Amino acid sequence: MGLFDKFQGMAAARSELEALRIDPFGVEIERIISPTEGIIHGRHTILAGTNNYLGLTFNPECIAAAHRALDAEGTGTTGSRMANGSYSGHRRLEEELAAFYGMRDAIVFSTGYQANLGMLAALTGPNDVVLLDADCHASIYDGCRLSGAEVIRFRHNNAADLAKRMRRLGARAADTLILVEGIYSMLGDCAPLKEIVDVKREFGGYLLVDEAHSLGVLGERGRGLVEELGVLADADFIVGTFSKSLGGAGGFCVSDLPALDLVRYSSRPYIFTASPSPATIASTRQALHILADGRELRARLRENFERLHAGLTAMGYTLGASPSPVIAVVFGETITTLKFWHDLLQRGVYVNLMLPPATPNGVSLIRCSVSAAHTPEQIDAVCAAFADLRAVT
């Protein structure tokens, strides 16, 4: 077998897209105008697929903080946290994240992907068991694969199925790591976290919640689904990212367990990756402060996603979940979904195209992510584009 033979299926799929003259994976935003607007293919476009939930990418205070750090500390650290890449800002951010959650400590990673990869590969090994929701993100699956742990999937959002599998583990359940997400990134549905916590209380184990899409969105202070449902104290590890509500790049884990600090000395993705740039750390620290006090932003975000969800529902579209900032329109056939995505872009609306095998149950999705920075008029314009396509299909 040749080195590149494994890519033949992918090459055939790309050829099919080229025949349709649709390239959903090479979209270039030629110019960014604001958190919700850009120029794509020379056309003014509403950005409704960015995960910029609080719209903080253009926040003046965050930009000013980044400028100050850039002037004072330069463009990058040029090293890992274990070598020369730990600056004072990295540690201050960890302390602020821990205080935000009321936890003992935090670890900052270079990306959200690496936060899951680094935590799971360090926490679990070949003699351990991981129980994860079947719809967990690829970074969680990859972290489990890197760890070598025994991986058992339970049915999506099914606490009864989790309990059944914990029961089968017997005494091993007490040291099992349970992995779920707050808001799931594909369909926008939330984990039944109270029921999952009940299972953990009955059988033991440790609970890791990935709040990537719920940080800044849910809870009085924006601490995610764990805060929204009052189970913050039951989460042994909370993982999150800076690349969504915080408007930057990076990731973290917070925990009340003293052993968290030992992860620094055993997590290869943490040890061998250059640390985030000073400007990124500075803007993230400022964004975290805004997020914690961001009740008005969260209220505006809720108004926007409920407005879009209601509009699409009224048109008869099948949506993946109840209202959340992630609104997925469910389609069947892939080519139809591709053309629909392309036609939305032609109408000045950029959203995400999600296709099997990345999607749950083999469905094709048009995925919108709503921002607090969207105006009601922009939400209505997105609805109008969907309505226009509903009329012609």
Active site residues: 185, 213, 244
Q: How many CB atoms lie within 10 A of CB 379?
A: 24
* Cβ–Cβ < 8 Å for 222, 292: yes
Q: Rounded to an integer, what distance in angstroms lies between the CA atom of residue 362 and that of residue 186?
A: 12
The three-state secondary structure class of 156 is coil
- Calculate the dihedral angle through the C-alpha atoms of 74, 80, 84, 87, rounding to the nearest 10 degrees: 60
> How many Cα atoms occupy the beta-carbon half-sphere of 233 within 13 Å?
2
Among positive and negative, which fits the CA dihedral 263, 269, 272, 275? Answer: negative
Q: Output the CA–CA distances (angstroms, integers) from residue 31 to 22, 149, 159, 180, 377, in the order listed.
A: 21, 44, 45, 36, 21
Among positive and negative, which fits the CA dihedral 89, 90, 96, 99? Answer: negative
Q: Output the CA–CA distances (angstroms, integers) from residue 267 to 82, 127, 191, 235, in the order listed.
A: 11, 17, 27, 20
Place of tokens 């402060």: 289
